[in-house]
Amino acid sequence: MLQNLFLTSLEQGLVYGIMAIGVYMTFKILKFSDLTVDGSFPLGASITAALIVSGYNPVVGTFGAILGGALAGYVTGFLNTKAGISDLLSGILTMTSLYSINLRIMGRPNTPLLNQPTIYSMAESFISRVWPAFPIKFIYLAFFIIFALLVKFIIDTFLETQMGFALRATGDNPQMIRSQGVNTDMAKTIGLVISNSLVALSGSLVAQYLGFADAGMGVGTIVAGLASVIIGTTLFGEGSVFISTLGVLFGSFLYRFSISLVLSFRLAQASDLKLFTAIVVIIALTAPQIRQSIKLRVQRCDSYGDS
């Protein structure tokens, strides 16, 4: 049982980890409180489901989700940089609008993908031809490992480029980087486009993984993403980009594994999931301050002892 729980949590941690990397881009790199995530996640799922049901190739549906997420991020960036709306409110406006847009895209609140071709069925068919001895139950895990590491590699590489440094500087010190001739509005918009593209990609993969897309499946996504980012950066620290994104993926797995443990041992009901998520985020946020406070008290005790 524990082995299956670990395997499922690892699969979910990796596929939701792509979304968490998107959240990391805005909250840690840009220092932008982007709530578009709760809308762009189901947007990716809705676009993919609608295209697959309409007879399009699942790869086309997945790329369509990425483009849809990029457009959602651009709208949030436009509202913030051009319309002068605050980052929090611009994200809320886009997120609220996307709920109705997702319903329009699917034509109904829920679209099942059972008995429909998905990117996983294509991968399973390919692997069974190329490597017949490969265990079927590990196909999802192998796919998610490759996909998550590929996304991580692309983001790590991008953030080490000149444009990536501009994004990081925009989040750290916008006035300084603006004085160097960098268009911070453009950098912010590019960051939001990339972030929501990753979030929508994760939504697309999750929809194909679960076998359905739902207009309400994005509720609480931002909290789950923040939990993964905070847990990862708390455990791994905020050093290099490579370490940070690796920590985010690990934080996503740890978050999913803790939820699975709580539910499997019936320590909480499924209806308590959002409450548990909030508690995890609170613990992760307060842990560094508590640890620092304990460290200071120990140092004071040592200094009193020496005197």
Torsion of CA 262, 267, 273, 274, to 10 degrees: -110
Say if residue 3's pLDDT is above 60: yes
Say if residue 224's pLDDT is above 70: yes
E runs forming strands in the chain: 110-112, 212-214
Mean pLDDT (whole number) for 38-56: 97
What does the pLDDT read at residue 299? 76
DSSP three-state, residue 213? strand
Mean pLDDT (whole number) for 261-277: 73
What does the pLDDT read at residue 283? 79
Say if residue 263's pLDDT is above 80: no
Average pLDDT, rounded, for the chain: 90
Cα torsion angle, 66, 69, 22, 2, sign: negative
Say if residue 101's pLDDT is above 60: yes
What pTM value is reported for the model? 0.92
What does the pLDDT read at residue 68? 97
Asked if 44 contacts 203 with a C-beta cutoff of 8 angstroms, the reply is yes
Say if residue 306's pLDDT is above 60: no
pLDDT (tens digit per residue) in 117-141: 999 999 888 888 888 888 888 888 9
Radius of gyration, CA atoms only, the chain: 21
Q: Which residue has the higher pLDDT, 306 or 206?
A: 206
What does the pLDDT read at residue 80? 96
Say if residue 267's pLDDT is above 70: no
pLDDT (tens digit per residue) in 183-217: 999 999 999 999 999 999 999 999 999 999 999 99
Mean pLDDT (whole number) for 255-266: 82
Say if residue 266's pLDDT is above 80: no
Closest to 40 measured CA to CA, from 209, 227, 206, 221: 221
Percentage of the chain lying above the pLDDT 90 cut: 64
| 162/260 Cα distance (integer angstroms) | 41
Q: Which residue has the higher pLDDT, 209 or 237?
A: 209
Structure tokens at 180: 């160097």
Say if residue 39's pLDDT is above 70: yes
